Structure 1
Amino acid sequence: MTANNIGRYSKYIRPISILVDLMIISISGFYLFEYQIYNISYFIIYLIVGWIAVAVFIHFYDVYRFTAPIEIFSKIIKQGVLFLLIVIAFFPFSKQYAFSEKTVILFIISSMAMVSISKFTLFYFLKKYRIVTGSNFRNVVIIGYTPEAIRLKKLFEARNDFGYHFFGFFSNKKENIEIKGKLEQLKSFVIENEIDEIYCSLKEVSNAQLKKIIAFSDENKKTIKFIPDSKEIFSKNLQIDYYDSFPVLSLKKTVLNDPTIKIFKRVFDIIFSSIVIIGLLSWLMPLLAILIKLESKGPVFFRQGRPGIDEKEFHCYKFRSMKINGATETEASKNDPRVTRIGKLMRKTSVDEMPQFFNVLLGDMSVVGPRPHLWSQNLSYTGKIKKYPIRHCVKPGITGLAQVSGFRGEIEKDRDMINRIKFDIFYIENWSLILDLKIIYQTMVNIYKGEEKAY
């Protein structure tokens, strides 16, 4: 792995850790409880759900390259104690199963021992891997040339196992051989050198400069963290981490970045889309195929490339609602002559979007999320609307908060897109399962009532 792609595989480490832990829990549960519990498969599902619920509650998988071993040990103890209570709680409500104190204790001790070994092995392996190979590093710069900033730079150099490559300081106040340039030169340097994280000294930037730096970080998907001024900290939504004893502030990430939540949302998507495909599309699809073919020549499905998560293209599927034409990058307008009669009905009831449940099943989309825009819209608005690129940090959805809030359909003016992006960003930053369920419910209500811009 070269310096240009260092740290690019870190996103896979936590999901792998979660899957290993779930395998340990499942295998241990099956082996120890197989002859005590009649329907062992339901019990294993109960264990998995219970483990994930506790992990989310105590942030069990929030372990980073700078996390202290004692903190990891503390998380393991908390997880083990709460998970033990979850296991014990199964038996009073399932009287046909005999409770064996010995088996439960053996299960908890053995499974938590294996989880601990797995967790610490991975943690220390990655540290050694970074030192020996020089891989899995993150490129960083520091804004400001203060005593605190210099201390952090020395920490990066002293603790190779943390996995940071320091590229230099940016400051308007002093001249020094270590200073790469002034603040105005930061943006181009970060992009050209593929910098992953920006550390900003709060002593050296004004509020106006800080807002611009945060906006730049959002738009370019860079992580920004802050070196605190010991006198005052005003920024909202901050969390504090310690690199050894050095405090570093960072903006809290959306919960959708949590690997446990990603897995939970993916499981929900698979179950929901499977129900729709089996219960509805299995009989509706052949019927619509006949009606589409009878009215106009062409395929039953319309397939179009759209920007997905991280702006990677995927093929979005719909029932074809228009006559074959060459203007596929032009969105539909009111009384659009390209729309067929059956297409008009499908678009009015959003039935034309139903094949996207196959996209959900394939993993390209989610049931709920920002709607995938046309590439032409994406290119047009990326530099025009602040925070527009943030919508690509999650999977696009069949429905979304913007759509159920009245901002669906044709974009007639920039204000329409600005309002849509505001709702998309709010959804990403404030996600919850309840919010997803409310959006799904409101979508069904809107389909039943009909929508003005559904054409």
Structure 2
Amino acid sequence: MSRYRHYYSLNRVILLVLDITLIAFAFKISNYFRYGDLLMGYQYNVFFILFAIFWWIVSGFKNFIFRVDGFFSIEKKLANVINAFILHAFLLASCIVVFNLEQLSRLLLLYTYISAALLIGTSRLLLFQLNRFFTKSDMAYSRYVIVGTGQTALSLLHTFEGDDNPGNKFMGFFDDDPDEESLCYNQVKGSLSDLKEYCLQNNIDEIYYTLPLNNRKHIEELTNFADESFIYFRIVPDFSGLVQKEVNMYFYHNMPIISVRKEPLVHVPNRIAKRVFDIAFSLAVILLVFPIVFPVIALLIKLESKGPVFFRQLRPGKKNKLFLCYKFRTMSVNNSTELQATLNDPRITKVGAFLRKTSLDELPQFFNVLLGDMSVVGPRPNLVSQLEHYSKLISKYNMRHFVTPGITGYAQVSGFRGETKDMRLMEKRVEYDVQYMENWSFMMDIKIIFLTVWNMIKGEKNAY
């Protein structure tokens, strides 16, 4: 829908300006509730600028919080706004800690977040309703026809009718040999020879061509007609016989290339962003957290049982390349390290049980992240024995090794952690790992990290 690109760009700019205005209003309201005055002090005016700048940065990561069109459901839009506020709070909290802005009122900050979230959320609901009213009005209609009456044509019509696109109105099918028993037969307006005259008489804006692509002369004829008549001509190729799922198409110079699955981390900018975050986050943990907890954990491990503080084990990483994975030792020294831990496992020490329950045993893996063997977020690296076993039984098991393994992952925060004695549990874990690979985003990583921290605080029943 490239013809609407200007609409979406303007839409994002207007919504960003609206959001900043509502945030400024939220600051005023919060200042009144906190200090009884609408006028803010100099430090809070500066802080408002910082708050607004971070919201602008978040808009870069969460592009779709600045869309109110019908391509996304209202639930998805509100979820994007909530996720954006979570990311914003994370960035702002980091800034407060780094620059030692302890004099800022925590209560004022809480009021600001609550009021800003309510104002922006309400504005999205109102704008969404206005957009739906606009798209259903005659002012917005973009008239289109579909050439062909096959399955691709029907699927295209179903897709358009299922979305609140910016004013699309279906005007009919055109086909030389339509199926009289087809459900769409009564919507056929004529044969291909009738198409041009119909388009001119009914002010058609778009033509969607769904017939086989072997009639090059006819396609060129319609292309020239559309160009001369200021009509957008779209070709919708039928790949249903080739793939049975959503595909991605991109161009390398003039060569169209189809990818049968989404692969966000194939793109270099995404990989660079993820790696930069991994380095920054792992350094922060190693420099700020590790020096505090390491002496305590090391002492407790040594006092309870003989053996090293750290446990090293070969694990399969990206593309099944083995690497040394580091953990705090949670078991008594034994020769059964390739056996998965089970409930009430006699090998697990008391200190080890606590470390596993809180995931503190994974802290040394931030050194793996720094070395590039692991990522903060990604599919968890399984045992070598699990790789050999499950790769023969689960068809998509090896797919999870397309990306760098992580300290935490989408499967783990979704409840699929711990022992996998039931094959279905491992299948679900693989399913969530593949979903992560195909839907990766920076915001998704941040969400998984927050859920991991929350699970560490409350404890997990499957962590043993």
Q: TM-score under structure 2 normalisation?
A: 0.48
